[in-house]
Amino acid sequence: MKQLSHVNFRDPEGPDGSGYLPVEPAVVDERSSILQQRYQELLDLAAQRKRRLEDNRRLCQFWWDVADLENNIKDQEQVLSSTDTGKDIVTVSHLLAKHKNAENNLGDIERQLEALQKDGDQLVSENIPGSDNIPPRIQEIRDYLKKLRDLAAARRERLTGGVDYYQVRQNLFDLLFGKIIN
């Protein structure tokens, strides 16, 4: 705008100071006004482009965060879908501790999903192009997490049953071994 204001500067005495003006002042004023309008249009277009680029960056960051969350979910799924129930009370207790850690991680993932949903809702409310896919995708992740919660509950039940089984087995062994020695 500084350069444009220099263009608007006009010496009333003319370029050589004699008072001669090579162009009518009204023509200069009109063209100067047109130049200012066009410059303002360019500034407006640049501001719109910058806003659209920022919106696109936010949308890309959102999808990046969703992909990261999905990777975390898949990591937890591997732990929760394990069929290993241990071979003695020590290994079952170790597996149960790993399982509890995985359940805690699921809680963290659910909190991350809530934050992502909040960001996604904001993107949707701002009508950012490409944001119409956000609500169904969040719902898919939410449904998948529910299945993982069910899987975690079933695995916890199996592991708890394993602890009970090995505890009873150990008690019987101690009882029988104690009777044999006595």
CB 154 within 8 A of CB 111: no
Residue pLDDT, tens place only, 29-63: 899 999 999 999 999 999 999 999 999 999 999 99
Q: Which domains does the chain have, with CATH numbers?
A: 2-181 (1.20.58.60)
Distance of CA 33 to the CA centre of its chain: 47
Q: Is 130 in a helix, a strand, or coil?
A: coil
Residue pLDDT, tens place only, 96-108: 889 899 999 999 9
pTM above 0.75, yes or no: no
CB 123 within 8 A of CB 132: no
Confidence of residue 112 (pLDDT cuts 50, 70, 90): very high
Q: Regarding predicted confidence, which is higher, 34 or 89?
A: 34
Residue 84: C-alpha distances to residues 58, 99, 105, 147, 157 (Å): 42, 11, 20, 19, 13
